[in-house]
């Protein structure tokens, strides 16, 4: 069964018609990347999945269940986690406190929540070293790791990751790419919005190219590499 599916989704900001019939699918264990120029509608797509931008038309399904009209907290409990653009780490909370926020709404009990935090910290040894530091004391790369780790604590089936490499140095981008590959190989599906084409293609099993609120291409990374027309029309600045 398809894990996450959007079917002909339309969404608006006020009267501005942003998503104009978006359809895409994420299969269990896949990494799917959504790429396109700034303003194409990529982040709005993630926000529509979470119910933060209501879909006026179309359907969003998680494992076959229609979640289009559910409130955000119920959508998240279906196994969807969000790593937002610009990280949104809480600056006055410690690394540990930020991670504990990822357990909010997961009804597993304090002991199980603590065990999940410990498990995630083993995957992010740098965060374990900085466990008592406040969010504002972390570097940009460390904040991005914390944002991903905070989402991972909830043990989602699919993680929505928005522009994870934005503003990071090349060496940090390489390290972050390795982290996302490891998360995906461990079984968590990813729907990744990414501006850097090389990163998007390196991570993806399947690629969607978006422009002006519509999907303009769907295929494998190799198929996109072999299609310079799509790259020129929809990806080049």
Where along the chain do the CATH 3.40.50.300 domains lie? 1-79+156-237
Which stretch of DSSP H or E encloses residue 143?
Answer: helix 140-152
pLDDT of residue 112: 72
pLDDT of residue 195: 83
pLDDT of residue 42: 97
CA 237 – CA 40 distance, rounded (Å):
12
CATH superfamily of 1-79+156-237: P-loop containing nucleotide triphosphate hydrolases (3.40.50.300)
- Strand pairing of 189-193 and 31-35? parallel
Confidence tier at 83 by pLDDT (50, 70, 90): very high
CA 222 – CA 207 distance, rounded (Å):
10
Write down the mean pLDDT value for the chain.
92
Confidence tier at 104 by pLDDT (50, 70, 90): confident
Q: What tokens were used for 30? A: 């896949």
pLDDT of residue 237: 53
Say which DSSP state 230 is in: H
CA distances to 33, 86, 172 from 166, in Å? 15, 8, 10
CA 201 – CA 181 distance, rounded (Å):
12
Side-chain-side CA neighbours of residue 124 (13 Å): 29
pLDDT of residue 138: 94
Q: Report DSSP letters for 169-187, one per residue.
A: -HHHHHHHHHHHHHHHHTT
Asked if the model's pLDDT at residue 111 lies above 70, the reply is: no
- Which residues make Cβ contacts (< 8 Å) with residue 97, sequence separation at least 6? 90
Asked if the model's pLDDT at residue 86 lies above 90, the reply is: no
Percent of the chain with pLDDT over 90: 77
pLDDT of residue 87: 78
Percent of the chain with pLDDT over 70: 97
Asked if the model's pLDDT at residue 166 lies above 90, the reply is: no
Beta-sheet strands, E only, within the chain: 4-13, 16-26, 31-35, 55-62, 65-66, 80-83, 158-162, 189-193, 206-211, 214-219
pLDDT tens-digit series, residues 183-221:
999 999 999 999 888 899 999 999 999 999 999 999 999
Q: Report DSSP letters for 186-216, one per residue.
A: TT-EEEEE-S-HHHHHHH-SEEEEEETTEEE
Asked if the model's pLDDT at residue 106 lies above 70, the reply is: no
pLDDT of residue 82: 93
Cα 93 off chain centre by? 23
């Amino acid at each position: 069964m398809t894990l996450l599916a959007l079917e002909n989704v339309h969404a608006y900001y006020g009267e501005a018609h942003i998503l104009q019939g978006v359809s895409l699918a994420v299969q269990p264990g896949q990494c799917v990347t959504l790429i396109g120029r700034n303003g194409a509608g990529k982040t709005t797509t993630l926000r529509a999945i979470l119910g933060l931008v209501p879909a006026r038309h179309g359907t969003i399904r998680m494992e076959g269940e229609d979640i289009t009209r559910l409130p955000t907290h119920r959508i998240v409990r279906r196994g969807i986690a969000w790593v937002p653009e610009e990280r949104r780490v809480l600056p006055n909370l410690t690394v540990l406190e930020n991670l504990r926020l990822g357990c909010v709404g997961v009804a597993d009990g304090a002991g199980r929540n603590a065990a999940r935090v410990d498990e995630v910290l083993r995957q992010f040894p740098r965060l374990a070293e900085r466990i008592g530091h406040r969010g504002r004391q972390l570097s940009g790369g460390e904040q991005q790791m914390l944002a991903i780790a905070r989402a991972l604590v909830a043990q989602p089936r699919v993680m929505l990751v928005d522009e994870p490499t934005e503003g990071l140095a090349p060496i940090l981008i390489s390290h972050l790419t390795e982290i996302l590959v490891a998360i995906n190989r461990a079984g968590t599906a990813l729907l990744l919005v990414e501006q850097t084409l090389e990163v998007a293609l390196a991570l993806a099993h399947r690629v969607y190219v978006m422009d002006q609120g519509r999907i303009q291409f769907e295929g494998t990374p190799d198929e996109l590499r072999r299609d310079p027309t799509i790259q020129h029309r929809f990806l080049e600045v």
